[in-house]
Structure 1
Amino acid sequence: MPELPEVAGLSAFLDSQLRGAVMTQLQIVSFAVLKTADPPYSTLEGREIQGVQRYGKFISIDAGNVFLVFHLAKAGWLRYTESPTSTQLRMGKGHIAARFALTRGPDMHIGIDLTEAGTRKSLAVYVVRDPFDVPGIATLGPDPLSPSFDIETFAAILAPNPHQIKGLLRNQGTIAGIGNAYSDEILHAARISPFAVAKSLDRATVQVLYDAIHAVLGAAVAEAAGKAPNELKDAKRSTMRVHGRAGQVCPVCGDTVREVSFADTALQYCPTCQTKGKILADRRTSKFLK
């Protein structure tokens, strides 16, 4: 799933390429992808793009008082080309959910496909008059890279919270943009168990976790900067120390990276770095909370 660093990279790339371009066509290919009806998506055609902005894991394309917003969900991605095809796509066929065509000047033609792999389709497209008309944006928590997200704000979020820290970091209504992969990486960098209870963390540990959020996300955003969409997935994988590396050697201590599996996801962690050598039970109710 694309998370804050990849979405930031995509947003910056699209802003540099689309600002000043004119939307000439928008094809909605998936039956379920378009989540809004007013204004109609045809309203976008003929409009000049004013800029592109990120909200958590959402990307918003400003077409002048009308916004095209999309969320790539778990298995979605974006393909960009300057040699687009004029083929009319058939509804419900293939892995392309939506296709945009734009022009910038007389000679530059741009094509963008939103794609989604797998059978469980959750990629979402919205056409709205204000990005905050999108429910997922309206309910986002603070952005962890925003200047206003200081240690006091973070401590106030954790202090009363009875949930495990892994789930809290992933909750978009609590903190925007962090998902499964970067929560694993942040907790490993902070040397905290994914099953630790948020309100149990002392102030020194909260500071360590706050610093880890900025270090991990900051490095990943820097790694993603300037890269085209087809390079971002490899950039993400190259920065991972524990996520997606179960059975491999922890680069910090040399222990074996372990995994806890759930119904539709999994987390990875290092026992030596994060749980004092204890192996976490393969369920959320593990007794090893620290």
Structure 2
Amino acid sequence: MPELPEVEAARRAIEENCLGKRIKNSTVADDPKVIDGVSPSDFEASIVGKRIVAAHRKGKNMWLQLDSPPFPSFQFGMTGAVYIKGVAVTKYKRSAVKDTDEWPSKYSKFFVALDDGLEFSFTDKRRFAKVRLLDDPVSVPPISELGPDALVDPMAVDEFCNSLSKKKIGIKALLLDQSFISGIGNWMADEILYQARIHPQQSASSMSKENCSTLVKCINEVTNSAVGFDADSLCFPVEWLFHFRWGKKPGNVNGKKIEFITAGGRTTAYVPELQKLCGDQALKEAGKPSKGIDRGNPDDDVEKIGNEDEATNSKVVKCTKISGAKKISKKWSSKAENSGDANDKYSMKTSRANNHPKKESSPSVDDSVDDKDGDAKSFKKISKAKKPSNKKLSPKVEGLDNSENDSDTVDRSKKTRGAKNPRILRKTNEDNENETENQRKQTRGKNSAKRNREESNDYEDKVNEEMNGKQMKGASSAKKTVASGQSRKQQRAKAI
């Protein structure tokens, strides 16, 4: 991208080849994005017939002084470049025009033919440049807003230090600010800071006078060297960062690793081993936590109080550190569950603990709970105590196998220690929930089977009742039929 050395090389090429010559013909592209504020025809009419008196530059801007105003002005942008037919000019990485391309190039935005037959063109492939026609380029933006030129108006050390003391932004961002110092672009800022051994994000106001002096020296050296080589990067010193910074590819310069960060809104190449933060910024950087996560000691069961829920839940369990098994009152458990705070981790742990069979706690642990007026508000802070020996927890009993008793004690102590581990507690709770759900399913299945049996029995009883009713009706009707038959026989007999 064209910076001060590249624009200065273009200015010198025009100064050496075009001064004193008259513009015979001109072609201005119909591209309002690049040709700013004037139509192509008006632009061409304003400069044809005029003589080129001088070529000027400030920062990354160049303008041609003609024998009368207005003057063409060029802001190079990202890919702006000047080419003179038949003259070798400096090319840089993003210059898109080749010697074998058509002339003038299809990317030409401003073309001039001089009275001696020489032709030159300003090209811009990516169309970020600006070509203007100004009566007094120095008195209007953008040139009027530029700071001192890094080549023509180098700042004195004291002036530079005083200016930096008022700036609280990063030093690279400040170097890129064209209103502070004009002409320095991205690659120049990286090179200057590398040679000065200054971190790109170092605050400008925090820099010592010694660092300021070194920075001024490096600005002058890099600028003058690049301009002295006519911006030809192949001639730059081999130890420069310039040769290794492109493409964000990992690499080394003079045996030191290059890394990339964003500073001043731009991709920045620097060498961490040589360019380190100083002062308070270094302390802040050293105090930053590492990327790894400290998961703590799983043997320490620290239940954090619900400070986040303090605004919504007035009953907050105080932080309790327990070295042995936990013993929690049923009353507190029921109140914690009824509070409806599903996010309260302690309430969840309490409900899990109550799902286990009640165990006899260690006699060395203080299990006392403040349950005054029936409301358990807080647990006493329990200090760690030495674990009692297995003999105290499990004394030998006459008539029993003491080895079995000891193994049972060891199992209980393992379970007690396991209760302190949140993972084990969580797993146990899940198992209890699964077991409870299975019991519910079994209960529902039994109830369903019972209802089915009862319905089946009711149906059988109803069928039996209907069958009995039909049989009784049939027997009574038969008796009536027999009785009526006998009565008819008797009547006939009497009649006979």
Q: Distance in 2 between matches of 1:237 and 1:265?
A: 24
Deviation at residue 76 of structure 1 after TM alignment: 1.9
| Sequence identity (%) | 24
Partner in structure 1 of residue 75 of structure 2: 71
Match of residue 121, structure 2, among 113, 117, 140: 113
Q: Distance in 2 between matches of 1:40 and 1:149?
A: 40
Decide which structure has the larger Cα Rg and report it. Answer: 2
Q: How does 1:152-171 map to 2 (within 5 A)?
A: 152-171=158-177
Deviation at residue 158 of structure 1 after TM alignment: 0.7
Give a deviation string over 1:125-168, Cα, whole Å, max 9, x none: 11111122441100000112335621122112211001111111
* Contact 1:101–1:110 under 8 Å retained in 2: yes
* Contact 1:249–1:257 under 8 Å retained in 2: yes
Q: Distance in 2 between matches of 1:14 and 1:144?
A: 21
Partner in structure 2 of residue 99 of structure 1: 111
* Contact 1:65–1:130 under 8 Å retained in 2: no
* Contact 1:185–1:242 under 8 Å retained in 2: no
Q: Structure 1 residues 65, 191: closer, same or farther in 2, change over 3 A?
A: same
Q: Distance in 1 between matches of 2:119 and 2:14?
A: 11
Q: Larger relative CO (CA 8 A, sep 6+): 1 or 2?
A: 1
Deviation at residue 23 of structure 1 after TM alignment: 1.3
Alignment of 1:48 onto 2:54: no
Deviation at residue 265 of structure 1 after TM alignment: 4.2
Q: Distance in 2 between matches of 1:48 and 1:142?
A: 29
Counterpart of 2:268 in 1: which secondary structure? Answer: strand
Q: How does 1:1-290 map to 2 (within 5 A)?
A: 1-29=1-29, 30-37=31-38, 40-41=42-43, 42-66=45-69, 67-82=71-86, 94-104=106-116, 109-118=117-126, 121-147=127-153, 149-224=155-230, 232=232, 234=234, 240-244=242-246, 246-251=249-254, 254-261=255-262, 265-275=266-276, 287=285
Q: Distance in 1 between matches of 2:163 and 2:263?
A: 26
Deviation at residue 117 of structure 1 after TM alignment: 2.5
* Contact 2:176–2:264 under 8 Å retained in 1: no
Query: What is the identity, as a one-letter code, of the residue corresponding to 1:14?
Result: I
* Contact 1:20–1:50 under 8 Å retained in 2: yes
Q: Distance in 1 between matches of 2:34 and 2:140?
A: 14
Counterpart of 1:183 in 2: which secondary structure? Answer: helix
* Contact 1:25–1:45 under 8 Å retained in 2: yes
Q: Distance in 2 between matches of 1:70 and 1:211?
A: 29
Query: What is the identity, as a one-letter code, of the residue corresponding to 1:115?
Result: T
Deviation at residue 269 of structure 1 after TM alignment: 0.7
Q: Distance in 2 between matches of 1:115 and 1:224?
A: 19
* Contact 2:109–2:123 under 8 Å retained in 1: yes
* Contact 1:242–1:269 under 8 Å retained in 2: no
Deviation at residue 209 of structure 1 after TM alignment: 0.4
Q: Distance in 2 between matches of 1:45 and 1:54?
A: 22
Of Structure 1 and Structure 2, which has the larger fraction of its residues in helix? 2
Of Structure 1 and Structure 2, which has the larger fraction of its residues in strand? 1
* Contact 2:170–2:263 under 8 Å retained in 1: no
Counterpart of 1:135 in 2: which secondary structure? Answer: coil
Give a deviation string over 1:194-221, Cα, whole Å, max 9, x none: 0011101011110010111011111111
Q: Structure 1 residues 175, 103: closer, same or farther in 2, change over 3 A?
A: same
Q: Distance in 1 between matches of 2:66 and 2:215?
A: 38
* Contact 1:246–1:268 under 8 Å retained in 2: no
* Contact 2:4–2:60 under 8 Å retained in 1: yes
Counterpart of 1:113 in 2: which secondary structure? Answer: strand
Q: Structure 1 residues 237, 207: closer, same or farther in 2, change over 3 A?
A: closer
Deviation at residue 261 of structure 1 after TM alignment: 4.8
Q: Distance in 1 between matches of 2:123 and 2:210?
A: 43
Deviation at residue 236 of structure 1 after TM alignment: 6.5
Q: Structure 1 residues 269, 169: closer, same or farther in 2, change over 3 A?
A: same
Q: Structure 1 residues 213, 148: closer, same or farther in 2, change over 3 A?
A: closer
Q: Distance in 2 between matches of 1:100 and 1:7?
A: 18
Q: Distance in 2 between matches of 1:199 and 1:247?
A: 31
Query: What is the identity, as a one-letter code, of the residue corresponding to 1:111?
Result: E
Deviation at residue 58 of structure 1 after TM alignment: 0.7
Query: What is the identity, as a one-letter code, of the residue corresponding to 2:63?
Result: S
Q: Distance in 1 between matches of 2:187 and 2:16?
A: 27
Q: Structure 1 residues 88, 43: closer, same or farther in 2, change over 3 A?
A: farther
* Contact 1:36–1:126 under 8 Å retained in 2: yes
Q: Distance in 1 between matches of 2:160 and 2:151?
A: 12
* Contact 1:186–1:216 under 8 Å retained in 2: yes
Q: Distance in 2 between matches of 1:88 and 1:242?
A: 33
Give a deviation string over 1:6-41, Cα, whole Å, max 9, x none: 111211111111101111222221232122339942
Deviation at residue 262 of structure 1 after TM alignment: 7.9
Q: Distance in 2 between matches of 1:146 and 1:200?
A: 27
Q: Structure 1 residues 273, 262: closer, same or farther in 2, change over 3 A?
A: closer
Q: Distance in 2 between matches of 1:264 and 1:207?
A: 25
Q: Distance in 2 between matches of 1:263 and 1:143?
A: 20
Structure 1 residues without counterparts, runs of 5 or longer: 226-231, 277-285
Counterpart of 1:206 in 2: which secondary structure? Answer: helix
Q: Structure 1 residues 177, 148: closer, same or farther in 2, change over 3 A?
A: closer
Q: Distance in 1 between matches of 2:60 and 2:54?
A: 17
